[in-house]
Amino acid sequence: MYQLEEKIWFWILVAIPAIWVFYAILHIWKKRVQNKFADKDLLKRLSPNQSVFKTVLKLFVISIAIAAMAFALVNPKIGTKLETVKREGVDIVFAVDVSKSMLAEDIAPNRLEKSKQLVTQIINNLASDRVGIIAYAGKAFPQLPITTDYASAKMFLQSMNTDMLSSQGTAINEAIELAKTYYDDEEQTNRVLIIISDGEDHSEVSASIAEEASEEGIRIFTIGVGDTKGGPIPIKRNGVVLNYKKDQNGETVITKLNEKTLMDIAEEANGVYINGRNTNEVVESIRDILNSMDKKEFEAKQFADFKDQFQWFLGLAILMLFIDIFLLERKTAWLKKLNLFNENL
C-alpha cells in the first residue's frame, strides 16, 4: 500500500517533454544555419569535438533528474505495518443513477456531477462505516464492493459517467436487487442503501422491490437531484453544447425531477427522501440518521505505519546532476573511443 502526499508536484513532469521539444526545434534551426555557413566536411574540421550523442545524453540525464525531483516533492509513502483493527459502523451502499437524463444542467454543474459531490461529501463525513458503490441505468452494475477504503471509493466514484452502461433507462429495481448481495455480514443489523437519482423512468415494481429489501433489514434513503421544473439534456462534444436530446417528433426532451417516485421508494423501505439541492443539508441529514443507528463491530485490516520514500528520489536527482556537472561537462575522450555514431569517420 502506498500514498502520494503532494500530487500537485507531478506537474513538474510537464517540463520534460517541453525541454525535448525545445531541443529538437533548436537542433533543426542550428542545422539549417550551419548548412548555410559551410558544408558538412568543413563544419566537422571546424568543430571536431561536436557530438550529438553527448547533447542527447545530457538531456536524458537532466530529464531523469527532473523526474526524480518531482517524485521526491510528491513524497511517496509505503505502508510498512499491516494491523487488524476493530471498528464500529454501518454498511452503506450508494446506488448512483448514470442514465442520460443525469446530464441535465437544471442543477449545477449537472445532475451526475452533483450526485458525485453529494456522495463524496457523505463519505468525507464517515468515520468507520463500510461503503459500496453501484452504478445503474437500464441495468445495474457493481462499481465497488463493500469496503473501508474511502480513497478507493472516491476514485471509483469520479470515474463514473453516462457512457459506462449501454442500456438506458432507470432500473432502480435491479440496483436494489444488486445491493442485497453487497451485505456480506448476516449479523449486521443496520444496512443502508442510499439511492441518488432524478427519479425519472423508474420501474413500477421499484416500490415493491424496496418493500422486499426492507423485510431483509435494508433501509433505503433516496436523494433527488434536479429541478421539478426540469431541463433539456445537452449533447456535447469537447465541452461544447451541439444540440439537445429530442424525441421521435423532433421536440426537445425536458427531463424533470420526479420526487414522488423517490418518496414512495423510501417510504416502502423505512427510509427518508432528501432533496439534494443543498449539499450541507444532505450531509447533515445522513449524518444524523447514521448516528441514530446501532453500530456493528467488525474487523478490518489497514496499514498503520507509512514511511517516507522521497530520499531515494532525491538521491537519484543529485546523482544525475553530479554526472551532468562533473562528467558530461568535461572533454569526453571516452565517448570518442566508443564512436557510437561513427562520428570520427
* 248 grid coordinates: 421521435
Q: Do 101 and 43 fall within a single domain?
A: no
**Arithmetic mean of pLDDT, 17-45:** 77
- The answer to whether the Cα torsion of 138, 144, 147, 148 is positive or negative is negative
**Arithmetic mean of pLDDT, 302-329:** 78
pLDDT confidence of residue 243: 87
Of the two residues 168 and 310, the one the predictor is more confident about is: 310
pLDDT confidence of residue 188: 61
Q: Is the peptide bond before 142 cis (omega within 30 degrees of 0)?
A: no
What is the SS3 assignment for 132?
Answer: strand
pLDDT digits (tens, 9 = 90+) for 232-255: 988 888 878 788 888 888 888 898
pLDDT confidence of residue 23: 86
Q: Do 144 and 276 fall within a single domain?
A: yes
Q: Within a domain: residue 186? A: yes
pLDDT confidence of residue 219: 92
Q: Do 331 and 293 fall within a single domain?
A: no
Q: Do 292 and 322 fall within a single domain?
A: no
**Arithmetic mean of pLDDT, 151-174:** 83
Q: Do 197 and 150 fall within a single domain?
A: yes
Of the two residues 321 and 333, the one the predictor is more confident about is: 321
Count of structural domains, the chain: 2
Q: Do 212 and 246 fall within a single domain?
A: yes
pLDDT confidence of residue 242: 84
Parallel/antiparallel/unpaired status of strands 273-275 and 218-224? parallel
Alpha-carbon span 185 to 129, nearest angstrom: 13
Q: Within a domain: residue 343? A: no
Q: Within a domain: residue 266? A: yes
pLDDT confidence of residue 341: 47
The percent of residues in the chain predicted with pLDDT above 70, rounded, is: 79
- The answer to whether the Cα torsion of 250, 251, 257, 259 is positive or negative is negative
Q: Do 187 and 207 fall within a single domain?
A: yes
pLDDT digits (tens, 9 = 90+) for 7-28: 888 899 999 999 999 988 988 8
Q: Do 204 and 327 fall within a single domain?
A: no
Of the two residues 188 and 212, the one the predictor is more confident about is: 212
pLDDT digits (tens, 9 = 90+) for 254-303: 989 989 889 999 998 989 999 999 999 999 999 999 888 877 666 655 55
On average, the pLDDT of the chain sits at 82
Q: Within a domain: residue 11? A: yes
pLDDT confidence of residue 345: 44
Of the two residues 338 and 307, the one the predictor is more confident about is: 307
Alpha-carbon span 132 to 183, nearest angstrom: 9
Q: Do 101 and 28 fall within a single domain?
A: no
pLDDT confidence of residue 37: 66
Q: Choose among 267, 295, 272, 294: nearest CA to 284.
A: 272
Answer yes or no: is pLDDT of 53 > 80.
no
Query: pTM for this one?
Result: 0.63
**Arithmetic mean of pLDDT, 31-46:** 66
Q: Do 126 and 262 fall within a single domain?
A: yes
**Arithmetic mean of pLDDT, 153-157:** 92
What's the domain range around 331? 2-75+309-338
**Arithmetic mean of pLDDT, 100-120:** 93
Q: Do 157 and 258 fall within a single domain?
A: yes
